Chains A and B, each alone.
Chain A
Amino acid sequence: MDQFLQQLVNGLAIGGIYALVALGYTMVYGVLKLINFAHGDLFTIGAYLGMTLFVSLGLAGKVPAWAAVTLVAVMVMGLVALLGWLLERAAYRPLRSAGRLSAVVSALGASIFFQNAVMLIWGAKYYVYPETMRPDTILHLFGMGIPAIRIVIIAASVLLMLALYWFINRTRLGTAIRAAAIDQGAARLMGINVDRIIALVFLIGPGLGGVAGVMVGLTYGQISFDMGFSYGLKAFTAAILGGIGNIPGAMLGGMLLGLIETLGAAYLTMAWKDALSFLVLILILIIRPTGILGERVAEKL
């Protein structure tokens, strides 16, 4: 039982991270019907920026670790959002009318560009988040010790998702994002500036992805220049699992995948941990290609 609770917390923490990254894939797919292959790299950049900012701002010891981490996470969100916005401007907008294939090639190119930029700036090696940045409070719940940081990460990812859910469903701009995902032409007839909606999506998705990168550093300590590939693939799986283009679907898919992976590794076999995610992906593609919450294709296209 103890072990189950522990694994549950782990599963939800990693699930929240997958969900935040998955949201970026799914929102961009929603408005552009394009897989942003560079999204995983923006996530990596978020993880590295978090570390660099923390170190270079010299926050260690001066302010409480929680405050420092929050400040860094907010800054990373803003900076990676800005990178996402620039990416859309430079790599996708000029090709908007050039067809799907050009956009895919451009996405791959952007991904390679970011990977190389990371290696150039930080080097092709692993880094460890500074201990001073990782609050080491242990919570004692039900007679076991759970690192407080994991609970905080679950809470933060859930809060971010609730905020996004509220924004998408309750505000004028959020409704415009949904409209643009359904029918861009009709959205234009409503007087919606679809270019600005796309730019907004490229701010939100990468912003959340960047924060998720910091969360990985805080949870596991270690970050690497190629982390965007594996996490990106998992998050993409989560987006498909929930139904690509569907925002609540990405949240659900991320959480589910985190739980399946963690509990599967604990109770089935550790060696199959990664294979499990792809088994899920293959199964979902066979059984329900639209994903759990995915609309019928006719409605989406």
Chain B
Amino acid sequence: MFLELDNLHAGYGRVEVLHGVSLHVDEGEIVSILGANGAGKTTTLQTVSGLATWMSGAIRLRGEDIHRLPSHEIVTRGLAQSPEGRRVFGALTVLENLRLGAFTIRDRESAARTRDWIFELFPRLYERREQLAGTLSGGEQQMLAIARALMAQPRVLLLDEPSLGLAPLMVRAIFETVRKVNESGVTILIVEQNARAALRLASRGYVLELGRIVMEDSAANLLANPSVQQAYLGA
């Protein structure tokens, strides 16, 4: 198991939001988390990245406990996140944002290679590399948020609602990129409102309700499940 959450309790300050979440992502997989607003999807990803408050249970990355590590050390161990709401550094240029993404990469040449690959993946970002991130369109900012996370050369990438608020064409482009990134060998855990698109990409999925995992199945089965269809696929 590449990434494993084992009976995780977590939240913010003293407020517990996750009440015993267990899930796992195998090497090379794309796994999706579905859930209604407020179910705790973002909290799950934030806890893995060390930004929310861990309370009990375990988070393991390639067998190593990471739930007590500060966030910056989690990044050095090969886990990066493109957070909900993108959170690009608006007052900095696209290039500066990318350079920050590579903050933990000390080898300049390897960082430069990653950047070249990212500009192949997102030609639009190359065109706008000197532009302030705050002046990019929503779709471009989302690309930048993903690109910035990839600059850390992660083995595992967490994606929180990458298609939120984007036009259908842009949504398709983002999902296509996620697939390419996965094919390049990055393991992906994705949270999406657009559950149908996410499940088409994923091999497996989990359903989160009020801080608890209530269902776990292959993506194909979840897509075919009537109750999932009704609750999350708008059918």
Contact = CB atoms under 8 A, between A and B. Distances in A.
- Asked if A and B are interacting partners, one says yes
Interface of A: 97, 172, 175-176, 178-179, 182-183, 185-194, 295, 299
8 tightest Cβ-Cβ pairs between the two chains A and B: A191-B75, A191-B104, A188-B71, A186-B87, A193-B72, A190-B100, A191-B72, A190-B103
Interface stretch (B30-38, B91-99, B199-207): B91-99
Contacts of A194: 72
Contacts of A178: 89, 91-92, 96
23 contacts: A97-B13, A172-B103, A175-B92, A175-B100, A178-B91, A182-B90, A182-B91, A183-B89, A186-B87, A187-B100, A188-B49, A188-B50, A188-B71, A188-B72, A189-B49, A189-B71, A190-B101, A190-B103, A190-B152, A191-B72, A192-B72, A192-B103, A299-B134
Interface stretch (B76-84, B163-171, B209-217): B76-84
A10 B99 CA distance: 42
A299 B75 contact: no
Nearest to A169: B96
Nearest to A195: B70
B80 to A, nearest CB: 7
Given A186-B88, A190-B104, A193-B70, 13 more contacts: A178-B92, A182-B90, A183-B87, A186-B89, A188-B49, A188-B50, A188-B51, A190-B101, A191-B76, A191-B103, A192-B103, A299-B90, A299-B134
B155 interface: no
Given A182-B89, A185-B83, A172 B76 contact: no
A182 B97 CA distance: 12
A202 B104 CA distance: 23
Interface of B: 13, 49-51, 70-72, 75-76, 80-81, 83, 87-92, 96, 99-101, 103-104, 134, 148-149, 152
